Amino acid sequence: MKSRTTIIDLQKRKRQAKKIVMVTAYDATFARIVEEAGIDVMLVGDSLGVVVQGKDDTLSVTMEEMLYHVRMVTSAVRKSLVIADMPFLSYQGTIEDAVYNAGRFLQVGAAAVKLEGSHVVLDRIGAMTEFGIPVMAHLGMTPQSVHQLGGYRVQAKSRSDVDRLIEDAKAVEAAGAFAVVLEAVGADAAKEVTEAVSIPTIGIGAGVACDGQVLVLYDLLGLFDAFVPKFVKQYAHLKTDAVKALREFKQEVEGETFPSSRETYD
């Protein structure tokens, strides 16, 4: 039986040039499906604020809500590495609070946490890793800064911005991050970052050169179609299938063909 994926395995993958595959998961049923597909890493992303809670952004997601979803995922997962996304305001206060909040995710079964930002979070990354909490960094388009960035847009377009991104990636690595998500940056910039650091880069809208790729589960399964960014590929169309199934159920109930004798007790 395959043993549980660890952060050491992910770092080894970069050295072996074997891609890392990560998707989001928010509940036990989908976590089981994701694990059955052999996915290495599950991120309980604060993207749940949009795809599960129906909000416009991730900013209102709370620690308690994240803990609720992390518990559901970790109760179902046996082999994949589970990473908990730290929600907005759970790590922007004191370093002590940030470490405490990160530790709460490990108490409910996550193996690591992810947080957004560069220089402002270096002390938090350092403190967490000192206390044995592995941290995945997140650079480029950082959704919790959507208002500061003026919307969800591609980052690091100029040479100086690319240089800064490289410096930021080196800084989070030096602070102790075991991997870094690069979101919505040009493929060339992501390649440069990937070559500049020894920790794995996991891209989302960052081209093929990254050491791994992540997508939001509801996006890749075609469950969420309110907004489909350019970087999303829908590998299934589950929303269409679900609507079709529900329409059929409605029709059969109204036409009294469901339940039939097969679904009825004598």
Q: Which residues are known catalytic residues?
A: 183
Of 260, 156, 257, 217, the C-alpha closest to 30 is: 217
Among 169, 179, 180, 181, binds ligand KIV (CB under 6 A): 181
* Piece of 39-47, 68-76, 100-108, 122-130 that binds ligand KIV (CB under 6 A): 39-47
Of 95, 132, 139, the C-alpha closest to 115 is: 139
Least Å from the CB of residue 47 to ligand KIV:
3
For the window 199-238, what string marks contact with ligand KIV as x by the rule CB under 6 A? Answer: -----x---------x-x----------------------
3-state SS, 178-205, equals CEEEEECECHHHHHHHHHHCCCCEEEEC
* By CB under 6 A, residue 172 contacts ligand KIV: no
* By CB under 6 A, residue 182 contacts ligand KIV: no
Output Rg (C-alpha) for the chain, integer angstroms: 20
Please give the Cα distance from 108 to 74 (Å, whole number): 7
* Piece of 43-51, 187-195, 245-253, 255-263 that binds ligand KIV (CB under 6 A): 43-51
End-to-end CA distance of the chain: 44
Dihedrals phi, psi of 23, to nearest 5 degrees:
-135, 165
Least Å from the CB of residue 265 to ligand KIV:
44
Q: Hey, what's the torsion of the CAs at 134, 85, 234, 227, to 10 degrees?
A: -150
Q: How many residues bind ligand KIV (CB under 6 A)?
A: 10
* By CB under 6 A, residue 46 contacts ligand KIV: yes
Nearer to ligand KIV, 45 or 186 (CB): 45
Instruction: Give the rounded distance of the alpha carbon of 207 from its chain centre.
Output: 17
Least Å from the CB of residue 108 to ligand KIV:
17
Nearer to ligand KIV, 181 or 221 (CB): 181
* By CB under 6 A, residue 192 contacts ligand KIV: no
- 3-state class (DSSP) for residue 139: strand
For the window 65-104, what string marks contact with ligand KIV as x by the rule CB under 6 A? Answer: --------------------x-------------------
In the chain, count H helices and then E strands.
Answer: 11, 8
Question: Would you say 21 and 37 are in contact if contact means Cβ atoms under 8 Å apart?
Answer: no
Dihedrals phi, psi of 114, to nearest 5 degrees:
-125, 140
* By CB under 6 A, residue 179 contacts ligand KIV: no
Residue closest to ligand KIV (Cβ): 45
Residues lying near ligand KIV in the complex (CB under 6 A): 24, 43, 45-47, 85, 181, 204, 214, 216
